[in-house]
């Protein structure tokens, strides 16, 4: 499970090796990747798990195995989370260096020695047993998979944007950043040539769009952080009762409540003296520091609904400021990004979308089909079944633009100041740590 951060000591040891494979994960391996988790299992569950396991799967590969009986792995899973290289394959020296030489000895049979590109047809399709479980016909084509966020990226990034007045219309697909935002968020940018971005995963060749290199930024908690801040507030029971009475979600109610209390000013200006640093579960990108903590500055004794709504707004803004931080790190390394493509649960929240537009200064494209992860999966299925000759052809035909949200340029100066404060927060956190650790 990606958000299981138990393998901290293992990932620290892996990073101390400074092995060359680490340059393809932003220079530092994340505790959310598979090598540290595998090492943790070997060191902590040797007899009950490690010695008995026949295969170790990422979830997408586990599902395709259950569907087809084929143990072939997806290039996406292995390249993004397991240190596999699309060009060179496994690096024996890495696994030996980190204490997982077992895999080398058995020719990687437990973690994958047959690797297929996403969209490739697996075996003979659905097995009779899987077909029975799913209520489908045996033999239906099953595609080599993508990780869920990568499927979301595939589902939005290739959409035909003509007629929407977007600057990216005349630009290559590499000018688009797909942001898949749910419990956590992933920021997917592609390039023709490899770009090494410190603290951002990749570059991974053909891991999302065939023939392109992928960089994957991310925030470990986004939707989960918003829930945490809202549900932990003293006014949450009152919010729940009022939202239920109106047959609204708590977030729809909060958005309308913010409109009520903003008076004449833009809604974002309500947080002029309330600032949040959102790394309550460490920083995935671009600082790649899982020891970082969350911060809130500007609290008062108020515990009413207005206070909760403004804290919610400040949290949403902090997540958008984090996206800007990741985007700027990617641009500093060589990416050129002009448009955000949002999908996932949080993209259904108009406040979240508008804040991303205002804070990054870029238009946000929303997919016609909100569940873009399912579109990405359908694209793969349509390739495996032979309905399309390539992933690119399927992307162009199956991805559709739903809505475009433009930034409020008149608010730019305010958000530039918020961003300055945002960067100061983490700078100060590092200073506090240095003071406390000083002998």
Q: Alpha carbon of 411 to those of 126, 276, 325, 358: distances in Å?
A: 53, 19, 18, 7
Residues 156 and 74 in one domain: no
Is there a domain that residue 1 lies in?
Answer: no
Q: Quote the number of domains for the chain.
A: 2
**Whether residue 103 sits in one domain with residue 169:** no
- Compute how many other C-beta atoms are within 10 angstroms of the C-beta atom of residue 393: 15
pLDDT at 57: 96
Burial profile 288-320: b = 16 or more Cβ within 10 angstroms, e = fewer: bebebebbbeeeeeeeebebbbbbbbbbbbbbb
Q: Is residue 323 part of a domain?
A: yes
Q: How far is Cα 74 from Cα 55, in angstroms, rounded to an integer? A: 14
| H or E segment and range at residue 402 | strand 401-405
CA–CA gap between residue 282 and residue 292 (Å, rounded): 5
* CA–CA separation, 242 and 256 (whole Å): 12
The tens digit of pLDDT for each residue in 326-339 reads 999 999 999 999 99
**Do residues 265 and 377 share a domain?**
yes
State whether 28 and 158 are in the same domain.
no
pTM over the 0.75 mark: yes
Q: Is the domain of 97 the same as that of 225?
A: no
Q: If residue 228 lies in a helix (H) or strand (E), which one and from where to where? A: helix 223-231
101 C-beta neighbours (distance < 10 Å), count: 11
pLDDT over 90 at 245, yes or no: yes
Residues 269 and 400 placed together within one structural domain of the fold: yes
> SS3 for 276?
strand
CATH number at residue 182: 3.30.420.40
By residue range, what is the domain housing residue 312? 146-438
Task: Judge whether 326 lies within some domain.
Answer: yes
Query: Minimal CA–CA distance to 345: which of 371, 364, 366?
Result: 371
Radius of gyration, alpha carbons of the chain: 23
The pLDDT score that the predictor gives to residue 2 is: 84
Same domain, 164 and 253: yes
Q: Are residues 220 and 86 in the same domain?
A: no
* Residue 106 falls inside a structural domain: yes
Span 46-72, average pLDDT? 97
In a domain, 369, yes or no: yes
Distance CA 430, CA 264 (A): 38
Query: Are residue 197 and residue 158 in the same domain, yes or no?
Result: yes
Q: What is the mean pLDDT of residues 189-206?
A: 97
Position 1 pLDDT exceeds 90: no
| Percent of the chain surpassing pLDDT 70 | 100
Whether 198 and 290 map to the same domain: the answer is yes
Residues 277, 165 share a domain: yes
- C-alpha–C-alpha distance, residues 74 and 116, integer Å: 5
User: Is 51 within the bounds of a domain?
Assistant: yes
Residue 296 phi/psi, 5° resolution? -135, 130
| In a domain? residue 304 | yes
Sequence-separated (6 or more) residues with CB below 8 Å from residue 330:
177, 187, 189, 195, 197, 200, 215, 217, 286, 337
Distance CA 56, CA 38 (A): 9
pLDDT at 164: 95
Q: Is residue 196 part of a domain?
A: yes
Do 202 and 309 share a domain, yes or no? yes
Dihedral-angle region of residue 386 (phi above 0 means left; psi in -120 to 50 means alpha; beta otherwise) = left
Per-residue pLDDT tens for 115-135? 999 999 999 999 999 999 999
Q: Stretch 360-385: mean pLDDT, rounded?
A: 95
Cβ-proximal residues to 355 (8 Å cutoff; 6+ apart), any chain? 268, 316, 317, 319, 320
């Amino acid at each position: 499970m990606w958000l299981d951060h138990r393998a901290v000591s293992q990932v620290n040891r892996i990073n101390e090796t400074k092995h060359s494979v680490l340059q393809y994960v932003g220079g530092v391996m994340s505790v959310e990747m598979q090598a540290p988790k595998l090492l943790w299992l070997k060191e902590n569950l040797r007899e009950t798990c490690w010695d008995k396991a026949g295969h170790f799967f990422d979830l997408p590969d586990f599902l395709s195995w259950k569907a087809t009986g084929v143990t072939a792995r997806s290039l996406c899973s292995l390249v993004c989370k397991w240190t596999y290289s699309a060009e060179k394959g496994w690096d024996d020296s890495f696994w030996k260096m980190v204490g997982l030489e077992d895999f080398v000895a058995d020719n990687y049979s437990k973690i994958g020695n047959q690797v297929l590109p996403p969209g490739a047809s697996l075996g003979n399709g659905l097995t009779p047993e899987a077909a029975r479980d799913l209520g489908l016909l045996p033999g239906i084509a099953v595609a080599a998979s993508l990780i869920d966020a990568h499927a979301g990226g595939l589902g939005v990034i290739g959409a035909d944007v003509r007629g929407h007045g977007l600057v990216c219309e005349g630009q290559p697909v590499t000018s688009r950043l797909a942001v898949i935002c749910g419990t956590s968020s992933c920021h997917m940018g592609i390039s023709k040539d490899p770009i090494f971005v410190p603290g951002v995963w990749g570059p991974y060749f053909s891991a999302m769009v065939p023939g392109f290199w992928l960089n994957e930024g991310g925030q470990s908690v986004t939707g989960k952080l918003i829930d945490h801040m809202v549900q932990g507030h003293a006014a949450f029971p009152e919010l729940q009762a009022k939202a239920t009475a109106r047959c609204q979600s708590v977030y729809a109610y909060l958005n309308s409540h913010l409109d009520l209390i903003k008076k004449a000013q833009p809604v974002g200006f309500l947080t002029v003296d309330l600032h949040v640093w959102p790394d309550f579960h460490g920083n995935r990108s671009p600082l790649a520091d899982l020891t970082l903590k969350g911060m809130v500055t500007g609290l008062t004794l108020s515990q009413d609904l207005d206070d909760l709504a403004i804290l919610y707004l400040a949290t949403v803004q902090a997540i958008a400021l984090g996206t800007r931080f990741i985007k700027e790190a990617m641009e500093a390394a060589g990416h050129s990004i002009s448009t955000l493509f949002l999908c996932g649960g949080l993209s259904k929240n108009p406040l979240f979308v508008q804040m991303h537009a205002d804070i990054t200064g870029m238009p946000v494209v929303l997919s016609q089909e909100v569940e873009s992860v399912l579109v990405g999966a359908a694209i793969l299925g349509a390739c495996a079944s032979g309905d399309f000759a390539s992933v690119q052809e399927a992307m162009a035909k199956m991805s559709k633009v739903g809505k475009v949200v433009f930034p409020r340029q008149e608010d730019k100066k305010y958000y530039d100041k918020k961003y300055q404060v945002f960067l100061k927060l983490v700078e100060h956190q590092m200073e506090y740590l240095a003071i406390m650790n000083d002998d």
